[in-house]
Structure 1
Amino acid sequence: MSIDNSYSPSGATLPLEQQRGPAYWLQRAVQGLGTLSGVSVGLLALLWFALTLGAYPLLIPDEGRYVGVALSMLESGDYLVPRLDGLPFFHKPPLHYWLTALSLKVLGVNFVGARLVPALMAALLIAGMHAFLKRHASQHHAGWTALILLSSPLLFGASHYANLDMTVAALISSCVLLGGHAALQMEQGRPYRLALMGLYATAGLAFLAKGLIGILIPGGILVFWLVGRGQWRILLRLFSLTGLGVLLLVATPWMWAMQARYPGFFDYYIVYQHFQRFLETGFNNPQPFWFYFALMPVATLSWTPFLFRRARGTGMQPDGLFAVRALMLSALLTVLLFFSIPSSKLVGYVLPAIGPWAFFLADTVIRQTQRDGEAKVARRAVWSLAVGVLLCLVAVVTMVVRPQVNSRELGRVLAAEYQQGDQVVFLNNYRYDLGFYVPGLMGVSVMGRWDDPEIMRTDSWRKELLEAASFEPQRGALTLIDRATLRQQLCRDSKTVFWLIGGPDAVRQSQVLNHAQRLYEDQRIALWRFDQDDHDFMCGGTPKVVQPKTSVLPDR
């Protein structure tokens, strides 16, 4: 199959009276985007995302958690074991942590360094879509798709959110596009081996970013696409023993290293995290089956009306793009259906579908141009672009003017007086992001009822810490303490300064806080200092050394 990349809609020139208006410049921008390379478009996208990456503090829990794990790697020099509060954290694979740690090392511990990885991955997704469509569809499809993605509120928000979702989406999208390119090259009798090896290598990276779905989702998309088109021979040729070796070389060494160090790793990481969690119902954000199907029109809100105009238009005419449309449809439906099965549905899971969705919007815009003329459609597109960009900027301004819960001010107060050797204790709460604002923060304990069986029944910070502690019980016993152990620690060494962090009303629940100095308080969190003077007043006498309890931690 040969694709004519010179494809252009009719009415290529706007009327003279329109040539210097917004519609004219938008059409010029789309044409310019179409002629650029995928790398150039990716760099433009990165610049657009990077402008506002540092505008507001880290959001908790997710940004604080994932950036905190990466920061612990950077500070400790141990890049092999992801750690949460010093405990092994195996909820997710390590690739995103490695990349974020590298970003923090290069750019420093700041908000831009913390969020650079999702911005890079969003730019990679746009660059990949552009390069693929420019090669296998048309410059107009590449340009319009890139423009729609750049102004998508969902993609813009994901590029500013330091968790794993954007990394996973970009790598899954890269797998699909590399596989699609290799298959189309095979059909056309052109070189394909480099793209094929890229497919397997990227699948290995996707596994290191999210686990098995990094292989299953792109694999399923390509299988459904080729089987649906009757391309059985091409499907068989995509299977490569050399490629499989590349995938295993990229994906498995870290797992084997963790299994060798922690014998229960495979059971927890593969069986529980990959299979049991997929079907269980006790996780956050349960939503109905149709949630993601309703979310997609919102993801590109300002461009979605084009779909309804297209529904009233003429039928599609043959243009040689059946294979490309079929691949995008397979990608869109596979992602939506796969993530609709679990009851827990987080918005970021649908990101691998945003590229194909934008393609169909771009395809609709181009076909409306054929029907209604370039000038009329371009005027509509100007409003769509303006509204999309405005929504993105309003979201940033809102986060600046009305910041979400974070520990920046708490961290500023603590960092001003914290010294190495001090002990920080959270009281029935936990702030993932505190270490980001307090350089060198160590010796953090969390007081709570860790023997409560309800902890393991729902997703929460308590469950994450308790599961992490099960891999290193001795360290866990020092980190996860109960009320009696805290009191013993406070009275054991009068020379240690304790920093106690809890809710503002915690003073009514703890006699200890009656003897401590409160240094910070907002509506959600407070900070107390407990030092030698407080020790003498509360404890008196000569303290006895008591070993911490270990029985509250489950066996792994």
Structure 2
Amino acid sequence: MKRASSADRMSPRPLWLLLALFAWLLATAWVRPLMAPDEGRYGGVALAMLRSGDWLVPRLDGLPFFHKPPLFYWIGAAAMSVTGPVEWAARLPSVLGAVAGAAALYLFLRRWSAAHVALLSTVVLATMPFFFLGAQFANLDMLVAGCIACTVLLAAGAALSKEREEPWRMLLAGAYLFAAAGLLAKGLIGLVLPAMVIMIWCGATRRLPLALRLALWLPGWAVLLAVAGPWFLTMQMKYPDFFDYFVIKQHFRRFASSGFNNEQGFWFYLPVLAGLTLPWFGWLLVPRGKDDDARSGNSDVDRLMWIWLAVIVVFFSVPRSKLVGYVLPALPPLAYLIAQRVFAGRSPDALRTRLRATALASAMVCVTCVAAMAIYSVPPGTRLRLPTGMSVAPGERVLMLERYFYEIPFYWNLREPVLVSDDWQAAARDTRDNWRKEFSDAGRFEPGRTAVTLLDRSRLAPWLCVPRATWIVGPNTAHLTNAWLARAQLVAVNDAIAAWRFAGSATSDPHCLGSTSDATASGAIGNE
């Protein structure tokens, strides 16, 4: 009988590992401010959900925001209902997604591989800078990555268990549950990608009939539809254009079209995965040990991980638009493959010192990256602080000129949507993926609300010449193209943006911004 290594004997209990993962990933989630635009956007939508009390419709500045489903916002809003608008609560959905994915990897490998492989794979994953930073970033990528990991591993565990006549139904029900969570986290990829991985794996291991039976398991579909179906059905009934926008445009057209963010070549994710997983990635370049032998008992797991890695990388390499976070679901299988290479022909006990050094170095890289981002990546809106004793009073409005600063509603703790001034007719014709396009698209679902939120910048007098104050936020050069700002009080300024307080007009004088010709000229200059 093979003697258990010290790593096998010291394998932690799942609950303690779960708590350790959560503490490690949450420990620095409060250190740096929210980054623009992503973190400000998604944190702001979650806060707006809490403020409005509408937990069904995600809203960007009060307008329906259907780029993504609501699970991230539900978790963030629930956290902020307890803590208020703080950074770690806005990032909690990403932390939970990372913990779920890492815990699922550990539990799966502890059952279907060796305990020391399970433990090292989890340590590698949790201390990869790419994974750690993804868990520290308030957007939807890590949450859906965690859902995808849980779905793949639970489904694979169910297939292996059923084949060995072990209990499998709870595992498969869990896979369908996490597929539903993936749908609610980021849409169809939460279901399509795990299904692709499992189907290709089952085909490669001659289990395709079993895969089809599991895919057609009616109780699982009942779970999926009961969890994910109500929100999608409710949105379609409330907004008839929802299906066309959310499914056709945000999924299929976005996947096939150009004009979105960060167009890159097919090769893009290879250096991303290699560079952002150092120093662990370096172990893949180390030759196998002399005593490496075939691991027939683990061949199914090996194939699952290789297929999982390849499906994710190839799938996201096809579109021209590539963002770094898209490939986060590839990290759990990559962590396993690194762990397997580490132990190839080597004793776990003999590697203890080197593995501890690598884990410590990788953890230091993680923390250093967070510290560097805290120092050097502070968005302008976060740095724009109102003077002590000044705040937006109830009944006062905030108007943003020429740009929407996603992070300001969060840091100013605003309870009402802001007014946004721009050339919205031109924005409606713009096909580029930017903040104007987001607002223009959101405005199509509720025209009435849009008319009192998105304001033409050449016709601001009816909104400003009222008997209440309006806070103006815009570029710190906005006074050069908006002469009426000379009548406002400058209250805060930094190297990029500024804030003014415009007192309004006690008599609702329609000319409080100056003469009609002056106001029109200001708008015309701003349109150039």
Indicate the TM-score class for this superposition, using the shorter chain for normalisation.
over 0.9
Q: Does 1:378 find its partner at 2:355? A: no
Of 127, 133, 138, which aligns to 2:114? Answer: 138
| Paired residue secondary structure (1:369) | coil
Cα deviation digits, residues 366-403 of structure 1 (max 9, x gap): 11424xx843x334323322221111111122123334
How far apart are the structure 1 equivalents of 2:222 and 2:512? 66
| Paired residue secondary structure (2:472) | strand
**2:249 partner amino acid:** Y
Structure 2 residue aligned with 1:195: 171
Structure 1 residue aligned with 2:74: 98
Cα deviation digits, residues 11-40 of structure 1 (max 9, x gap): x5xxxxxxxxxxxxxxx6x557x6223332
> If the length of structure 1 is used for normalisation, what is the TM-score?
0.88
**2:177 partner amino acid:** A
Of 139, 142, 166, which aligns to 1:166? Answer: 142
| Paired residue secondary structure (1:383) | helix
Structure 1 residue aligned with 2:39: 63
Structure 1 residue aligned with 2:271: 294
Asked whether the equivalents of residues 64 and 432 of structure 1 are also in contact (C-alpha less than 8 Å), the reply is yes
Structure 2 residue aligned with 1:469: 443
How far apart are the structure 1 equivalents of 2:363 and 2:108? 25
| Paired residue secondary structure (1:320) | helix
Q: Within 5 Å, which residues of 2 pair with 1:400-439?
A: 400-413=374-387, 416-439=390-413
How far apart are the structure 2 equivalents of 1:170 and 1:178? 12
Q: Does 1:360 find its partner at 2:337? A: yes
How far apart are the structure 2 equivalents of 1:7 and 1:157? 38
Asked whether the equivalents of residues 419 and 452 of structure 2 are also in contact (C-alpha less than 8 Å), the reply is yes
Structure 1 residue aligned with 2:454: 480
Q: Does 1:527 find its partner at 2:527? A: no
Q: Does 1:53 find its partner at 2:25? A: no
Q: Could you tell which deviates more after superposition, 313-322 or 469-478? A: 313-322
RMSD of aligned alpha carbons: 2.4
After TM superposition, give the deviation of residue 233 of structure 1 in Å. Answer: 2.8
Q: Could you tell which deviates more after superposition, 73-82 or 308-317? A: 308-317
After TM superposition, give the deviation of residue 98 of structure 1 in Å. Answer: 0.5
How far apart are the structure 2 equivalents of 1:7 and 1:243? 40
After TM superposition, give the deviation of residue 472 of structure 1 in Å. Answer: 0.5
Q: Could you tell which deviates more after superposition, 235-244 or 350-359? A: 235-244
How far apart are the structure 2 equivalents of 1:7 and 1:435? 60
| Distance 1:453-1:86 versus aligned 2 partners, 3 A rule | closer
Q: Could you tell which deviates more after superposition, 391-400 or 81-90? A: 391-400
How far apart are the structure 2 equivalents of 1:233 and 1:467? 44
After TM superposition, give the deviation of residue 132 of structure 1 in Å. Answer: 0.3
Q: Within 5 Å, which residues of 2 pair with 1:200-279?
A: 200-239=176-215, 240-279=217-256
Of 457, 464, 481, which aligns to 1:509? Answer: 481
Structure 1 residue aligned with 2:373: 399
| Paired residue secondary structure (1:407) | helix
Q: Could you tell which deviates more after superposition, 381-390 or 120-129? A: 381-390
After TM superposition, give the deviation of residue 414 of structure 1 in Å. Answer: 9.3
Of 511, 522, 525, which aligns to 1:539? Answer: 511
**2:210 partner amino acid:** I
Structure 2 residue aligned with 1:548: none
Cα deviation digits, residues 306-362 of structure 1 (max 9, x gap): 111136867642341001111111111110111111111111111111000000000
How far apart are the structure 2 equivalents of 1:542 and 1:152? 58
Asked whether the equivalents of residues 515 and 538 of structure 1 are also in contact (C-alpha less than 8 Å), the reply is no
| Paired residue secondary structure (2:395) | coil
Q: Could you tell which deviates more after superposition, 395-404 or 441-450? A: 395-404
Asked whether the equivalents of residues 516 and 529 of structure 1 are also in contact (C-alpha less than 8 Å), the reply is yes
Structure 2 residue aligned with 1:280: 257
**1:161 partner amino acid:** F
Asked whether the equivalents of residues 58 and 406 of structure 1 are also in contact (C-alpha less than 8 Å), the reply is no
Task: Mark the runs of 5 or more structure 2 residues left unpaired by the alignment.
Answer: 517-528
Task: Mark the runs of 5 or more structure 1 residues left unpaired by the alignment.
Answer: 13-27, 545-556
How far apart are the structure 1 equivalents of 2:160 and 2:91? 35
Q: Does 1:447 find its partner at 2:442? A: no
> If the length of structure 2 is used for normalisation, what is the TM-score?
0.92
After TM superposition, give the deviation of residue 443 of structure 1 in Å. Answer: 4.7
**1:361 partner amino acid:** I
How far apart are the structure 2 equivalents of 1:314 and 1:284? 48
Q: Does 1:389 find its partner at 2:338? A: no
Q: Could you tell which deviates more after superposition, 302-311 or 516-525? A: 302-311
After TM superposition, give the deviation of residue 115 of structure 1 in Å. Answer: 1.4
| Distance 1:448-1:354 versus aligned 2 partners, 3 A rule | same
Identical amino acids, percent of aligned pairs: 37
How far apart are the structure 2 equivalents of 1:400 and 1:461? 24
How far apart are the structure 1 equivalents of 2:422 and 2:62? 17
| Distance 1:454-1:476 versus aligned 2 partners, 3 A rule | closer
Cα deviation digits, residues 197-223 of structure 1 (max 9, x gap): 111111111111111111110000000
